[in-house]
Amino acid sequence: MNINLILLVDDDSAVRSAISQTLRLENYEVIACASFIEAKDHISEEFEGVILTDIRMPGRDGFHLNEYCRDIDADLPVIFLTGEGDIPMAVQAMSAGAFDFLEKPCSSENLLPVLSRALKIRGLVIENRNLKKQAIMGDLSARMIFGRSAQVEQLRNAVRVAGKTKSDVIVTGAPGTGISKIAEVIHLSSERAAGPLEKRSAIKLSRQELLEILYECDSGTLFLDAIDQCPADTQLALIDFLEKEHNTRVIAGTHLEIAELEHQETFISDLFYRLATLTVRIPAISERREDIPVLYQHYVRQAAEQSGLPEPEITDQKISELLSRDWSGNTRALMHDAMRFVLGVNTEASLQFVEGTEGLGKQLSDFEKSILEKTLLQHKGRATQAANALKLPRKTFYDKLSKYGLRAENFRK
């Protein structure tokens, strides 16, 4: 999203004209107004820009404009233009939510970086709001559940049904199939999408912890993973909660097949029948092998974006190798392999995938840090040689060292 709109408010026509010209030369779109009355009609939650305003103006001043913006949208950046004597007031206004202030006369060198930073933040706010609207209004299962097999289409349909109902749900799937993700899609596809989603492991979850989380999730959803390993007393507390009037939806996850869960001796049957009104089963990779290329392409693209590295070509030979493996770790194993592929690490079938609980970002960061450390050791802390070996520009290489708190000189022997 490229947001570049500036709402400029200043009663001095010469200042308005000079700043507008400067901004337009930098390819910003400018709406220039002489007063609050003129500016207020442009301000809304949907306003895709930032506000640059003078403090001292006849009638409604910059402080009133800032308060007006805060009432409409607390995330709308307001930047003050201040005279020499107005700086203490501007500092006070920042404590009330203003984004920043700039002293007049304001040079381009001081003005443009502040505007750029404010616009980037505004862009993220607008993008997140749009994504949330799309999640509520659109077919989220089609966008977040990847594959083209009949099995994955059945999964999407089951998620759509679960999203449209108010019933509690049990999601089953083998380790690594993404039970937590499917629970999130169900939540975002439901009328509770704007409410909270809490994810907790049911293993060793106490009665008191459960009740606290349930009430925190009012008007939202609680996802309880490994429900088959939930302590008996906590299961009883959950049954009591579900019997009463409440406004929290429960989605339970388990690696057991639904028939196994029903006959699990440690799982209270009354709880099973209360949760199992709807069940969603995630097929293993072995059941939908035709989805492997689609999934792998998605994970490679995602890993490349997060690492800042180019997306490597997935050759026919690579696809053949992927299809020849059993993928007992399911989508998590595919994700792991895709990360190593992007990072240029050996991805031979003999490599053993180790199950983990970290998400893609955490696993990718750990891999990237280990590769940086290994390369610096190999080149005895010589940063230029290490950057060349990794085929990274020097600036990118040093940015990554800074990201992980690494210093090249610490690897010199």
The domains of the chain are located at 5-135, 140-282, 284-357, 364-413
Q: What is the pLDDT of residues 51-65, one digit of tens each?
A: 999 988 888 888 889
Tens of pLDDT, residue by residue over 395-407, are 778 878 888 888 8
Residue 266 confidence (pLDDT): 94
Beta carbons of 7 and 43 less than 8 angstroms apart? yes
DSSP state of 257: -
CATH class, range 5-135: alpha beta
Angle at 353 between CA 348 and CA 359, to 5 degrees: 120
Q: Which residue has the higher pLDDT, 287 or 352?
A: 287
5-135 and 284-357 share one CATH topology? no
pLDDT band at 163 (very low <50, low <70, confident <90, very high): very high
- Provide CATH code, domain 140-282: 3.40.50.300
CB 408 within 8 A of CB 379: no
Q: How many Cα atoms within 13 Å fall on the side-chain side of residue 114?
A: 21
DSSP string computed for 345-401: ----TTSPPPP----HHHHHHHHHHHHHHHHHHHTTT-HHHHHHHTT--HHHHHHHH
Provide the whole-model pTM.
0.55
CATH assignment, 284-357: 1.10.8.60
